[in-house]
């Protein structure tokens, strides 16, 4: 408001306010947009998303049996429908349009494209059939187009998950949940059918360090403990010394640890058909192939001991090894951002865009928010606060004159024209709403919340 | 002022209405969620905190609840509310910056507030699911609650709800990440 007032007083030719471009249509992108629109009544915000459909990990990451977590979509929808906001789907930034072209068309560009890559275990046998990244497995049951041909083989009794964060627990829960719990959700039909025919009965969730370092949160652990027809299969030896440490723990860690201890003690219904267990102090060193050498049949784990204390507890090798027979191995050790454009600085060690409070290093007018800024950890609320922070910093820069708002920027007009000459078919929000309606309609006939379209071409077809 | 007049009108309406029908579900006060159940002798009071034989003066006093929100910059925002109001919805109605991302379904912690200590004691114990979500809230304190679970009652009159100052570079469990 201050900027446009000055413009009117001086008679400068800025016929509109600041134009901001956001790359990425997930929670980070939408929350950054929301805050910008609220803080500046003259700002116009355009969101560019690679897929024809918005919402990023809220759509493709949050588990199908956690529909309340997806309520944020209502807020994002309001943002997208705001008169000063426009969503452009099916635009691949870095390929269809460059960051430099966006920076020319907008006063500021915010990178919110998250982490589409995967941390690899870096062990022999990792590429054998039967080994999947949690990112791909979750993408498979959540309908991410690039994972629709995953076809995980669920005909083995034991599955081993490496990593003990919320993603690992989601995967374990989806593998062991009774089909009744899933059949009315938005899980894809082919995943539902595969899980209905699954022979997986035992899931081990393996972590490098000890119970006090487990990365999941209590809600997800409680869901495992309460999962019908399953029992907990823990190793009491893994919990030595934990009871004594309880009293000094901060509340969240204390409650989480108490729940684990309860699961160790009570175990659960012996008659339960399925079981799950946490395994600590173990790191994967090799995926073992079966006799035919054609697929994974087991995993070799190195036993660790802990050194150090507090936040800096480290796992150190002891030299002991343990082999676990299993036919399904899921590596859930972290997502990873990848560089989007050579014009954007990227830190390959930390796999983020180097930045100071959201201002991209050495690049005026370029900002970042969400996982690409801080790394791929945290829940939606974490990303929300982070995105609000970036938006505030951007607004500050506008008001301090660090961004030259007196220059007229063409914004979406120029980019849309450019994309048209390149044969790119943009999907506007109103067109996503047609895809949305189709998914809900298909879901209804199957008794589900929605049946997601799995194919980008089909999405584009429905968007017409 | 209009609220007081409305309450008075509603009370006299109820007193006449109840002689015709004791069926709560058709009474406009009940359907508007402003019934305190203590309008007339012999009514079973759904809200046990009110004296059973309260008259219309008590209704006038009890249905209004004054709440003060203290926003992230420390600004005090007094708000006039009613018994039965949800604190998060109240905040939204008055433009207070509480996100409420999961829309009051106990699937996030974005409506986290600190409750003034004398009123904190008067709130019913949180259910386990609320405690689980509170565990994820940054800067958790003894007097932390999720505002979507706070329903106003007369004894919460004067309650102050402070929004936590959310800092940068925080993580769900206070963890500081190590570079990998």
What was the pLDDT predicted at A312? 81
B147-180 b/e (C-beta count within 10 Å ≥ 16 → b): bbbbebbbbbbebbbbbeebeeebebbeeeeeee
Q: Is the CB of B170 inside 8 Å of chain A's CB atoms?
A: yes
Q: Return the minimum-mean-pLDDT range out of A173-182, A236-245, B15-24, B142-151.
A: B15-24
For chain A, give the secondary structure using H, E and C.
Answer: CHHHHHHHHHCCCCCCCCEEEEECCCHHHHHHHHHHHHHCCCCEEEEECCCCCCCHHHHHCCCCCCHHHHHHHHHHHHHHHCCCEEEEECCCECCCECHHHHHHHCCEEEECCCCCEECCCCCCCCCCCCEEEHHHHHHHHCCCHHHCCCCCCCCCCEEEEECCCHHHHHHHHHHHCCHHHHCCCCCCHHHHHHHHCCCCCEEEEECCCCHHHCCCCHHHHHHHHCCCCEEECCCHHHHCCHHHHHHHCCHHHHHHHHHHHHHHHHCCCCCCCEEEEEECCEEEEEEEECCCCCCEEEEEEEEEEEECCHHHCEEEEEEEEEEEECCEEEECCCEECCCCCCCCCCECCCCECCEECCEECCCCCEEECCHHHHCCCCCHHHHHHHHHHHHHHHHHHHHCCCCCCCCCCCCHHHHHHHHHHCCCCCEEHHHHHHHHHHHHHHHHHCCCCCCCCCCHHHHHHHCC
What was the pLDDT predicted at B25? 63
CB-count exposure of residue A316 (10 Å: 0-12, 13-18, 19+): exposed
B178: chain A residues, CB-CB within 8 Å? 312
What was the pLDDT predicted at A270? 82
What was the pLDDT predicted at A268? 77
Q: Which phi and psi angles does A252 have, rounded to 5°?
A: -60, -45
- pLDDT reading at B22 higher than 80: no
Task: Identify the residue whose tokens are 């494209």.
Answer: A113
What was the pLDDT predicted at A124? 98
- Give every residue of chain A whose pLDDT is below 70, as ranges: 1-15
| Residue in chain B nearest A352 by alpha carbon | B179
What was the pLDDT predicted at B45? 40
Sorting pLDDT into bands at 50, 70 and 90, what band is B21? low
Q: β-pairing, B159-162 with B64-70? A: parallel
Q: Which helix (H) or strand (E) holds B118?
A: helix B117-120
- pLDDT reading at B32 higher than 70: no
Of chain B, the end-to-end C-alpha distance in Å amounts to 62
Task: Identify the residue whose tokens are 């480290």.
Answer: A314
Q: What structural domains and CATH numbers belong to chain A?
A: 19-116+336-425 (3.40.50.720), 120-333 (3.50.50.60)
Sorting pLDDT into bands at 50, 70 and 90, what band is B176? very low
Q: Beta partners for A26? A: none
Most confident of A305-314, B17-26, B30-39, B156-165: B156-165
What residue spans define the domains of chain B? 63-162
Name which of B99, B135, B168 is nearest A357 (Cβ-Cβ): B168
* B57-95 pLDDT, tens digit each: 656 555 899 999 999 999 999 999 999 999 999 999 999
Task: Identify the residue whose tokens are 């267990």.
Answer: A277
* Nearest-neighbour CA in chain A from B96: distance (Å): 13
Domain B63-162 part of CATH 3.40.30.10: no
Name which of B102, B166, B173 is nearest A252 (Cβ-Cβ): B173
d(CA A154, CA A175): 9
Sorting pLDDT into bands at 50, 70 and 90, what band is B53? low
What was the pLDDT predicted at B62? 57
B102–A218 CB contact, under 8 Å: no
d(CA A130, CA A325): 12
* Cβ proximity of A386 and A124 under 8 Å: no
What was the pLDDT predicted at B41? 40
Supply the ipTM of this predicted assembly: 0.87
d(CA A2, CA A11): 14
- pLDDT reading at B1 higher than 70: no
| Residue in chain A nearest B173 by alpha carbon | A252
B101–A382 CB contact, under 8 Å: no
Q: Is the CB of A375 inside 8 Å of chain B's CB atoms?
A: yes
* A133-172 pLDDT, tens digit each: 999 999 999 999 999 999 999 999 999 999 999 999 999 9
What was the pLDDT predicted at B24? 65
| Summary mean pLDDT of chain B | 77
Q: Beta partners for A418? A: none
Is A57 labelled as part of a ligand binding site?
yes
A379: chain B residues, CB-CB within 8 Å? 108, 136, 172
Q: Coil, strand, or helix at residue B35?
A: coil
**How many A-B residue pairs are in contact by the CB < 8 A criterion?**
82
Sign of CA dihedral A57, A62, A63, A67: negative
Q: Return the minimum-mean-pLDDT range out of A26-40, B98-112, B155-169.
A: B155-169
d(CA A32, CA A320): 48
Name which of B102, B171, B179 is nearest A68 (Cβ-Cβ): B102
The percentage of residues in chain B with a pLDDT greater than 70, rounded to a whole number, is: 58
Interface mutation target, options B72, B97, B99, B148, chain A, most CBs of A under 10 Å: B99
d(CA A412, CA B55): 63
Is A166 labelled as part of a ligand binding site?
yes
Is A243 labelled as part of a ligand binding site?
no
* Cβ proximity of A409 and A391 under 8 Å: no
What was the pLDDT predicted at A176? 98
A71: chain B residues, CB-CB within 8 Å? 101-103, 105, 107
B103–A375 CB contact, under 8 Å: no
* Cβ proximity of A282 and A274 under 8 Å: no
Q: Which residues, other chains included, contact B147 with Cβ-Cβ below 8 Å and sequence gap of 6+?
A: B87, B88, B91, B98, B100, B111, B112, B113, B161
What was the pLDDT predicted at B4? 53
């Amino acid at each position: 408001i201050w900027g446009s007032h000055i413009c009117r007083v001086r008679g400068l030719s800025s016929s509109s306010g600041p134009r901001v471009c956001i790359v990425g249509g997930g929670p980070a992108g939408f929350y950054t947009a929301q805050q910008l629109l609220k803080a500046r009544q003259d700002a116009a915000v355009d969101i560019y998303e690679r897929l024809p459909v918005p919402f990023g990990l809220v759509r493709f990451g949050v588990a199908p049996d956690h529909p309340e977590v997806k309520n944020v979509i209502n807020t994002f929808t309001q943002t997208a429908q705001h008169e000063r906001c426009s969503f452009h789907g099916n635009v691949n930034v870095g390929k269809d349009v460059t960051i430099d072209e966006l920076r020319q068309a907008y006063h500021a560009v915010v990178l919110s494209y998250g982490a589409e890559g995967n941390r690899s275990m870096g062990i022999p046998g990792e590429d054998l059939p039967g080994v999947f990244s949690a990112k791909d497995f979750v993408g498979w049951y959540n309908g991410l187009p690039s994972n629709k041909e995953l076809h995980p083989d669920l005909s083995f009794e034991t599955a081993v998950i490496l990593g003990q964060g919320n993603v690992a627990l989601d995967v374990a829960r989806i593998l062991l949940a009774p089909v009744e719990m899933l059949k009315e959700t938005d899980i894809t039909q082919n995943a539902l059918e595969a899980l209905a025919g699954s022979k997986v009965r035992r899931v081990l969730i393996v972590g490098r360090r000890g119970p006090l370092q487990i990365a999941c949160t209590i809600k997800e652990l409680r869901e495992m403990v309460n999962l019908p027809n399953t029992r907990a299969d823990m190793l009491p030896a893994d919990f030595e010394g934990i009871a004594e440490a309880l009293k000094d723990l901060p509340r969240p860690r204390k409650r989480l640890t108490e729940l684990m201890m309860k699961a160790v003690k009570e175990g659960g219904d012996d008659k339960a058909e399925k079981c799950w267990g946490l395994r600590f102090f173990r790191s994967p060193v090799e995926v073992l192939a079966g006799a035919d050498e054609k697929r994974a049949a087991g995993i070799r784990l190195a036993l660790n001991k802990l050194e150090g204390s507090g936040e800096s507890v480290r796992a150190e090798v002891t030299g002991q090894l343990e082999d676990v027979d299993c036919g399904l191995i899921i590596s859930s050790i972290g997502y990873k951002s990848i560089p989007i454009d050579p014009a954007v600085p990227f830190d390959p060690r930390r796999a983020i865009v180097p930045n100071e409070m959201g201002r991209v290093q050495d690049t005026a007018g370029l900002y970042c928010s969400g996982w690409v800024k801080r790394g791929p950890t945290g829940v939606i609320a974490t990303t929300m606060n982070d995105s609000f922070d970036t938006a505030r910093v951007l607004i500050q820069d506008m008001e301090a004159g660090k961004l030259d708002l007196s220059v007229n920027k063409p914004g979406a007009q120029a980019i849309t024209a450019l994309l048209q000459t390149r044969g790119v078919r943009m999907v506007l929000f109103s067109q996503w709403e047609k895809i949305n309606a189709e998914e809900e309609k298909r879901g209804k006939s199957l008794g589900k919340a929605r049946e997601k379209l799995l194919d980008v071409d089909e999405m584009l077809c429905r968007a017409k | 002022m209009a609220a007081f007049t409305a309450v008075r009108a509603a009370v006299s309406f109820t007193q006449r209405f109840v002689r015709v029908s004791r069926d709560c579900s058709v009474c406009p006060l009940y359907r508007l969620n402003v019934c305190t159940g203590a309008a007339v002798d012999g009514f079973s009071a759904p809200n046990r905190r009110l004296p059973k034989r309260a008259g219309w003066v008590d209704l006038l006093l009890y249905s209004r609840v004054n709440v003060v929100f203290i926003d992230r910059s420390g600004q005090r925002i007094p708000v006039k509310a009613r018994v039965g109001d949800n604190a998060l919805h109240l905040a939204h109605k008055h433009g207070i910056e509480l996100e409420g991302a999961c829309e009051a379904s106990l699937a996030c912690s974005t409506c986290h507030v600190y409750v003034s200590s004398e009123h904190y004691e008067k709130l019913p114990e949180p259910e386990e699911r609320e405690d689980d979500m509170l565990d994820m809230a940054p800067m958790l304190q003894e007097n932390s609650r999720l505002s979507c679970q706070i329903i106003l009652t007369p004894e919460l009159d004067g309650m102050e709800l402070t929004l936590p100052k959310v800092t940068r570079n925080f993580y769900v469990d206070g963890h500081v990440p190590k570079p990998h």
